[in-house]
């Protein structure tokens, strides 16, 4: 799109009127009366936790994804930790993951006393590059954690083939990708274990919550024990069997998801298709609007993928703009568009720098992307008016800074 200085509007950051009066957040939950009713009914029931709603949610989730087992957790982070434990990660082991992710993906490796090893991402999807990952494998590598960045599935075929050759466990961090498809299959059925999050800005929410899906019954059993102190049966099983005896067989945690949360999850799962369809509609509108905007690069979609659009991250082409990412970001905020940036590469956080000696420059594709990324508002509750506000604000701000 060619914009001359005559068409440039005064930005809100320079005192002009903002595109919107109120801030549009980058993500927000949608809760309706049926959700509230389901939670209230559970509050009035016998079981607030470890009750029937947990199994009901897990069974419905496994059926939706097409896996044999789904094991719920108190958060996506707890679910990642449990998957790292179940993969057998221990001190001395290494696990490969992407630097362009939320810190929890790498932290769960540290929880097990093992070492996260990063590998750079592919320039188009910003997902773990299978060749880079293969080059990081050592005799100590035990697992690989591909991340479905923004909801676009990682290159699971290539990663699985490599993992098979090298004897690695594949744990897919699909916290962004509930409902995404890869070569016609649901994310959740592609890896040894797949991890989801139900944080409020995700495709479905339980407040806090997470899930691991797997087809392996032994892994499912270990995941269930790990979330319940390492105990081999739960209170409901004991009550039903009329027994008091239990055994702790491994060192676990209390990572259980409550029946209150699961009641909400069951309701929300029923709306997943509608929510996904809306997110895909919003993404299509954004991409159509931004494709021709000089200085803006919309996210790429590979032909084998149908993304779930947890995020909609644009990349700026800073060679075409007279402003930094920070200036564009602040200008969009001033227009009342709640933009964000995903993610500060994990190895550049002070904890990782101090502990592992990273200095920057180790993962050039991820680091370069990070310098140019801006996440636009993306949630299924956005109105058409909200979407158009974002389109207008991006075009207004980028046009102002176009060289
Ligand atoms: C990629 C990724 N992994 C893990 C997590 C952790 O999930 P939770 O917030 O449910 O603990 C998140 C959370 O947003 C995430 O985005």
pLDDT digits (tens, 9 = 90+) for 373-399: 999 999 999 999 999 999 999 999 999
Given this model, what pLDDT does residue 246 score? 86
Given this model, what pLDDT does residue 240 score? 75
Distance from the alpha carbon of residue 74 to the mean position of ligand 1, in angstroms: 12
193-197 sheet: strands from edge to edge? 69-73, 210-214, 193-197, 169-173, 141-145, 94-97, 115-118
Q: What is the pTM of this model?
A: 0.96
- Residue of 53, 68, 202, 320 marked active site: 202
- CB-count burial class (<10 Å; 0-12, 13-18, 19+) for 261: buried
Given this model, what pLDDT does residue 241 score? 75
Residue 113 CB neighbour total at 10 angstroms:
11
Does residue 145 sit in helix, strand or coil?
Answer: strand
What is the pLDDT confidence band of residue 7, given thresholds at 50, 70 and 90? low
Atom of ligand 1 nearest to the CA of 80: 4
What is the pLDDT confidence band of residue 8, given thresholds at 50, 70 and 90? confident
Atom of ligand 1 nearest to the CA of 78: 11
- Quote the CA–CA distance of 352 and 363 in Å, as a whole number: 14
For residue 168, the Cα-to-chain-centroid distance in whole angstroms is 22
Tokens of 95: 């696990």
CB contact at 8 A, 116 and 137: no
Give Cα separations from 195 to 78, 171, 389, 395 (angstroms).
Answer: 10, 7, 33, 36
CB contact at 8 A, 42 and 49: no
In the chain the first and final C-alpha atoms are separated, in Å, by: 12
Give Cα separations from 310 to 88, 99, 179, 255, 379 (angstroms).
Answer: 30, 18, 10, 24, 7
Distance from the alpha carbon of residue 104 to the mean position of ligand 1, in angstroms: 6
- Quote the CA–CA distance of 274 and 381 in Å, as a whole number: 11
Q: Cα angle vertex 251, ends 258, 259, to 5°?
A: 5
**Selection from 56, 85, 89, 49 nearest residue 70 by Cα:** 56
Backbone dihedral angles phi then psi of residue 343, each to the nearest 5 degrees:
-135, 160
Mean pLDDT, residues 157-172: 97
Given this model, what pLDDT does residue 233 score? 72
Mean pLDDT, the chain, whole residue set: 96
**Test site for ligand 1: of 76, 203, 207, most ligand atoms within 8 A of the Cβ:** 76
**Selection from 283, 285, 290 nearest residue 1 by Cα:** 290
Given this model, what pLDDT does residue 245 score? 81
Atom of ligand 1 nearest to the CA of 209: 10
Does residue 364 sit in helix, strand or coil?
Answer: helix
- CB-count burial class (<10 Å; 0-12, 13-18, 19+) for 218: exposed
Mean pLDDT, residues 301-308: 98
Crossing angle (nearest 10°) for helices 52-65 and 259-269: 30
Does residue 268 sit in helix, strand or coil?
Answer: helix
Q: Does 202 participate in catalysis according to the annotation? A: yes
Beta bridge partners of 128: 121
- Please write the tens of the pLDDT for every residue from 244-259: 788 899 999 999 999 9
What is the pLDDT confidence band of residue 2, given thresholds at 50, 70 and 90? very low
**Selection from 167, 162, 200 nearest residue 76 by Cα:** 200
The secondary structure of 185-246, three-state, reads EECCCCCCEEEEECCCCCCCCCCCCEEEEECCHHHHHHHHHHCECCECCCHHHHHHHCCCCC
Atom of ligand 1 nearest to the CA of 342: 16
- Quote the CA–CA distance of 33 and 308 in Å, as a whole number: 25
Asked if the model's pLDDT at residue 5 lies above 80, the reply is: no
**Selection from 99, 224, 238 nearest residue 173 by Cα:** 99
Query: Pocket around ligand 1: residues whose beta carbon is below 6 Å from it?
Result: 75-77, 80, 101-102, 104-105, 147, 173, 175-176, 197, 199, 210
Given this model, what pLDDT does residue 79 score? 98
- Please write the tens of the pLDDT for every residue from 309-323: 999 999 999 999 999
- Please write the tens of the pLDDT for every residue from 174-198: 999 999 999 999 999 999 999 999 9
Mean pLDDT, residues 54-77: 98
Distance from the alpha carbon of residue 30 to the mean position of ligand 1, in angstroms: 18
Tokens of 269: 């799962």
Given this model, what pLDDT does residue 378 score? 98
Distance from the alpha carbon of residue 73 to the mean position of ligand 1, in angstroms: 12
- Quote the CA–CA distance of 29 and 110 in Å, as a whole number: 30
Distance from the alpha carbon of residue 76 to the mean position of ligand 1, in angstroms: 5
pLDDT: which is higher, 323 or 240: 323
Atom of ligand 1 nearest to the CA of 310: 16
- Please write the tens of the pLDDT for every residue from 35-58: 999 999 999 999 999 999 999 999
Ligand 1, atom 7, lies closest to the CA of 76
Sign of CA dihedral 31, 34, 35, 37: positive
Distance from the alpha carbon of residue 201 to the mean position of ligand 1, in angstroms: 10
- Quote the CA–CA distance of 7 and 56 in Å, as a whole number: 57
């Amino acid at each position: 799109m060619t914009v001359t200085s005559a068409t440039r509007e005064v930005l809100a950051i320079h005192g002009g009127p903002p595109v919107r009066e109120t801030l549009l957040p980058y993500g927000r939950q949608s809760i309706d009366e049926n959700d509230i009713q389901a939670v209230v009914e559970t509050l009035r029931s016998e079981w607030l936790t470890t009750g029937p709603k947990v199994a009901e949610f897990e069974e419905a989730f496994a059926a939706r994804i097409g896996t044999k087992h789904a094991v719920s957790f108190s958060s996506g982070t707890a679910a990642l930790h449990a998957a790292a434990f179940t993969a057998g990660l221990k001190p001395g082991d290494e696990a490969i993951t992407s630097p362009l992710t939320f810190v929890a993906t790498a932290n769960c490796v540290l929880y097990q006393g093992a070492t996260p090893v990063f590998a750079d991402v592919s320039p188009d999807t910003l997902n773990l590059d299978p060749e880079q990952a293969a080059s990081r494998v050592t005799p100590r590598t035990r697992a690989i954690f591909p991340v479905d960045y923004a909801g676009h599935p990682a290159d699971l075929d290539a990663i699985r083939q490599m993992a098979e050759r090298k004897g690695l466990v594949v744990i897919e961090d699909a916290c962004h990708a509930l409902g995404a498809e890869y070569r016609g299959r649901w994310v959740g059925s592609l890896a040894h274990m797949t991890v989801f999050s139900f944080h409020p800005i995700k495709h479905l929410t339980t407040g806090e919550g997470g899930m691991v899906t797997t087809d392996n019954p032994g892994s499912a059993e270990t995941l269930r024990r790990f979330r319940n102190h390492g105990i081999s049966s739960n209170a409901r099983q004991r009550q039903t069997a009329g027994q008091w005896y239990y055994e702790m067989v491994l060192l676990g945690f209390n990572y259980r998801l409550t029946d209150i949360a699961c009641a909400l999850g069951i309701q929300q799962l029923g709306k997943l298709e509608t929510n996904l369809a809306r997110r895909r509609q919003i993404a299509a509108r954004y991409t159509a609007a931004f494709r021709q905007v000089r200085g803006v690069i919309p996210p790429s979609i590979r032909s084998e993928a149908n993304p779930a659009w947890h995020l909609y991250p644009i990349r700026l082409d800073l060679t075409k703009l007279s402003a930094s990412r920070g200036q564009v970001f602040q200008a969009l905020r001033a227009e009342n568009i709640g933009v964000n940036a995903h993610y500060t590469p994990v190895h550049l956080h002070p904890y990782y720098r101090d502990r592992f000696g990273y200095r920057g420059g180790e993962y050039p594709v991820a680091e370069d992307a990070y310098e140019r990324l801006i996440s636009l508002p993306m949630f299924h509750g956005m109105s058409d008016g909200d979407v158009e506000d974002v389109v207008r604000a991006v075009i207004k701000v980028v046009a102002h800074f176009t060289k």
